[in-house]
Chain A
Amino acid sequence: MPGTDRDQALSELKFRDPVRARALVEALGRRTAELGRAPVSVMHVCGSHEQAIAKFGLRSTFPRGLNVIMGPGCPVCITDTPEVDEGVVLARQGVHIATYGDMVRVPGTSLSLADAQAEGAKIHVIYSAGQAVELARSTSDQVVFFATGFETTAVATAAVVLGGLPPNLSILSAHKYIPPVMEIVAEMPETKVEGFLAAGHAATITGSAVFEPFVARHGLPVVIAGFEPLDILAGLVKLVELIRDRTPQVVNMFPRCVTREGNLRAQEQLWKVFRSTGGRWRGIAHVPNGNLRLRDEFASIDARRRFTIDLASLWDCAPPALAQSCICGNIMAGLSSPTDCKLFGQECTPEKPVGACMVSSEGACKIWHQYGGHPDLGGDA
């Protein structure tokens, strides 16, 4: 099939060039060997990194001595159970709930939003914060935007809030802020993580400087990387190099999008609307400053203040017994792999998720279920 559209499209994708990829894979192998010890564990904190690693089969090219662990990087996975419950209670009160796709299927204590929908609740899947506004304009009923995601989506929420909301729209914020959770992982006594690969998207907003205090405090290097396969490989080479040289610092390997200061206007909007407070991340821990809540100036559009949310009303439904065996928390903290979970691929599948990690396309269990995780795929010469 010489000269097809396909070949041409691929040659244009310079961040997917197999020849350059091979060179980087070799460099990664050399750096890891130069460490002179094994294994070395690094963590990435972004579901999109795991997606790309899985999709392009990069894990099969990583050197044996290098463990690349997925951390708490999927916004769907780390939305805490009571936060899902709040959405469910509101939905059962008859308000319309608008939220991002996968959130609908994430199990709460006893029900997911999809379960509530099956009972007749009005749940709407939206693709952007702006669609929540459109939805509210199209009805006279109360609409609640169950807003989830990290700083990237929080900025979008902030922008619509600052643009002014229709009177029947309020926000249930479950937004999270990434940098503080890295501290939690670094401080876990059992952690093996020696360096972090930080997410290019988020850093586009926060800037690379946001990681400098972390590096100073914990002596662990942070490399910011984009999402193309070559970005990830180059980021890992740099990260292992920093570990080898014991030179903990922040290195921005995604300069085509990320600056030191980040997007100041977006940050201004973010902090105008939100303040950070402590809160739980699902399955992981209480994360000081890890939650983004609406500031007091926006009390009138805060769903938590507009409605009474009586979580006890959910207790008449029994929580699923299986959920107690779910080890999502350990997986996101980098302590376990999806295949360590005895429900993985058996009682828990993308069709019938028990835990949040099996729901989202950025969830570790879902990705491993789909792409096979850590297989040794050689031996076919």
Chain B
Amino acid sequence: MIRRGFVDDKIGLKYGAGGRAMRALIERVCLAGIGPAPVDGIGLAAMDDGAALRIGDRWLVITTDSHVVHPIVFPGGDIGRLAVSGTVNDLAVMGATEPLALTCAIIMEEGFARTDLERIYASIHEACHEAGATIVTGDTKVMGRGEIDGLVLNTAGVALCDRVVPDSGLKPGDLLILTGTVGDHGMAIMAARHKLALEGDLRSDVAPINGLVRAALEAGGLDVVAMKDPTRGGVSSALHEMAEKSGVGIIVEEMKVPVRNQVRAACDLLGIDPLVVANEGKALIGVRASAAEDVLAAIRRHPLGSDAAIVGRCIEQHVGAVILDTGLGRRMLAEPEGELLPRIC
């Protein structure tokens, strides 16, 4: 990795926020001393959305994720839908759009309401149905009151595919497609968590997007060269990783980034850049310029992709950096450091 961040002695919340701090922690601690990457595959050291192992002439893609969210039920979804979508989407942006099987482990706090649990399982099943996935194994644990906060879900997923799409395949000249509006999930959560009375309804975009990604791959084939899931840390974090790993610079045209009015208004109010806010139903797709219009058209035909847009392009200069063209001038796009906090003054 190019950047080596500072890591504190005690792990604070920022180390889970998906930004620079989290990457520094993983590089310093989790990756220290691990063996070599799988021969001819993608391992932990690549820090991609999942791992890929060669099985004969195909690839087995694996990913796992733990889900903690406050509140557990939020406008537009709940932790169950989030867990399934997160895993399905991590597989999808590796190029594996047909999830073979999912696992789901649940840890609950003593006293958790059965009706709440039923509701979460109902949405787990619903999201699986949308994604064409099944849960094949799981685990249930209950911990004492106060030992964990409410409920934690862990999901893993496996899928087979013929070609893996890493997040590091960009070359100068490639274009970046964003499959829809940004910031919906993070702002919906923030509004619900802080009980912000924000005008308009903010709703999470949480959804499995493997169908949409499949459409993009069918239209673009080998010209789809990099994909990433802009979840925690938002589009900014995802672009920084893609730029760094691919060895290119990226220019983003701020005017082209689709943002819903409610989200923009909430972000303005809180002093937060929509580009650093989490998404749970979007992908960033890097394509060779010649295929960009076809891929974009295919994405837009999908119900979850109607707001898709080409938002950026890769350049040779400024390797590893993401530059924002505001339409009035240019600056570096901030890479989120830690927890997103509303501005206070």
Contacts and interface: CB of A to CB of B under 8 A. Distances in A.
Interface of A: 1, 4-6, 9-10, 16, 18, 21, 25, 54-61, 76, 100-102, 125, 127, 229, 346, 349-352, 360-361, 370-372, 375, 377, 379-380
A5 B265 CA distance: 12
A361 B343 contact: yes
A377 B318 contact: yes
A18 B328 contact: yes
Contact of B315 (A5, A60, A351, A380): A380
Residue of A57, A125, A350, A370 most packed against chain B (CB within 10 A):
A57
B317 A379 contact: yes
Given A100-B345, A350-B337, A361-B343, A56 B14 contact: no
A39 to B, nearest CB: 19
Contacts of B332: 371-372, 375, 377
Contacts of B307: 1, 4
Interface in B145-179: none
A351 B21 contact: yes
Contacts of B251: 380
Given A6-B255, A9-B264, A361-B343, 11 more contacts: A6-B264, A55-B326, A55-B331, A56-B328, A57-B330, A127-B344, A375-B331, A375-B332, A377-B318, A377-B331, A380-B317
Interface string B301-345: 000000111000001111000011111111110100110000111
Contacts of A380: 249, 251, 315-318
24 contacts: A5-B261, A6-B255, A6-B259, A6-B264, A9-B261, A56-B328, A57-B325, A57-B331, A58-B328, A58-B329, A59-B331, A61-B330, A100-B344, A100-B345, A101-B343, A101-B344, A102-B344, A127-B344, A229-B329, A361-B343, A370-B334, A377-B332, A380-B251, A380-B318
B38 interface: no
Contacts, number: 96
B338 A21 contact: no
B328 A377 contact: no
Contact of B345 (A9, A58, A102): A102
A339 B218 CA distance: 47
Contacts of B260: 5
B249 A351 contact: no
Nearest to A148: B345
A60 B343 contact: no
Contacts of B309: 1
A349 B337 contact: yes
A9 B265 CA distance: 11
B84 to A, nearest CB: 29
B208 interface: no
Nearest 4 A/B pairs, CB to CB: A101-B344, A372-B332, A57-B329, A57-B331
A325 B231 CA distance: 38
Interface in B267-296: 271
A32 B318 CA distance: 28
Given A5-B261, A351-B337, A361-B271, A371 B331 contact: yes
Interface in B43-96: none
Given A6-B258, A100-B344, A60 B330 contact: yes
Contacts of B327: 16, 18, 21
B244 to A, nearest CB: 15
B256 interface: yes
A152 to B, nearest CB: 11
B258 A125 contact: no
Contacts of B256: 1
Given A59-B329, A380-B251, A1 B258 contact: yes
Contact of B328 (A16, A100, A350, A361): A16
Contacts of A60: 329-331
A61 B327 CA distance: 11
A187 B68 CA distance: 57
Contact count band on B:
35 or more
A61 B343 contact: no
A4 B256 CA distance: 10
Contacts of A1: 256, 258, 307-309
A127 B330 contact: no
Contacts of A59: 329, 331
Contacts of B345: 76, 100-102, 127, 360-361
Contacts of B318: 377, 380
Contact of B326 (A56, A346, A360, A370): A56
Contacts of B249: 380
A380 B308 CA distance: 24
A202 to B, nearest CB: 15
A88 B314 CA distance: 49
Contact of A21 (B323, B328, B331): B328
Nearest to A233: B328
A343 to B, nearest CB: 12
Contacts of B264: 6, 9
A6 to B, nearest CB: 6
B258 A4 contact: yes
Nearest to B12: A351
A1 B315 CA distance: 24
A101 B251 CA distance: 33
Contacts of A54: 331
A25 B344 CA distance: 33
Contacts of B259: 6
Nearest to A377: B330
Interface in B224-265: 249, 251, 255-256, 258-261, 264
A10 B21 contact: no
A101 B334 CA distance: 21
Nearest to B300: A1
A126 B22 CA distance: 30
Residue of B309, B324, B334, B345 most packed against chain A (CB within 10 A):
B345
Contacts of B255: 6, 10, 18
Contacts of A56: 326, 328-329, 331
Contacts of A379: 317
Contacts of A370: 334
A144 to B, nearest CB: 18
Contact of B324 (A6, A10, A57, A361): A57
A234 B187 CA distance: 34
Given A18-B328, A58-B328, A377 B323 contact: yes
Contacts of B258: 1, 4, 6
A61 B324 CA distance: 13
Contacts of A361: 271, 343, 345
A97 to B, nearest CB: 15
